[in-house]
Amino acid sequence: MTGPAPQPDPHLATTTRLSIVAFLAGAEEAEFGAVRDAVGLTDSHLSKQAAALEAVGYVQVRKGYAGRRPRTWLALTPAGRAAFTAHVAALNAIVAAAGERLGPTPSGTSAPPGTR
């Protein structure tokens, strides 16, 4: 239990961004609407968050067509995947340091983390 403790990633500090990245972490890529529905966001909110994640190199946005309909696909980049893994490790370390036992709980609610 020595060595530098992993630090939470500030780009993933908001619940919304973490949710998006966590969802994308299990997919090669996901269509915009699928992510929107899964995370429970509006089109504009997801678009804004995806742009922010793309700006820091965590998410790749691909535009394409399904038939004649334009579609947008989101995918986690290797950097985004690494950042997500490190962020989760940091969260686990915080919980472990507090002496709590980790385990999946049915509730999916989360509180926004504090930043400074």
Partner 1 sequence: MESRSVEYTPEQARAALDDVALRRRQLTGAVRPLPFWPLAVTVGWLLATGLLRELPTTPVSRAAYLVVCVLYPVGMFVANHFRPIRPRLAALGAGWWVRLVVGLALGVVVTLYAFDLAEEHTSMPNLIPSVVASAYLVLFALVANRWPRR
Q: Which is nearer to partner 1, 3 or 100 (CB)?
A: 100
The C-alpha atoms of residue 74 and residue 35 are separated, in whole angstroms, by 8
Establish if 25 lies at the interface with partner 1 (CB under 8 A): yes
The C-alpha atoms of residue 10 and residue 49 are separated, in whole angstroms, by 14
Establish if 1 lies at the interface with partner 1 (CB under 8 A): no
User: Could you give the string, one character per residue 42-81, with x where binding to partner 1 holds by CB under 8 A and - elsewhere?
Assistant: --------------x-------------------------
Establish if 89 lies at the interface with partner 1 (CB under 8 A): no
In the DSSP assignment, the letter for residue 82 is H
Q: Give the max Cα distance, the chain.
A: 56
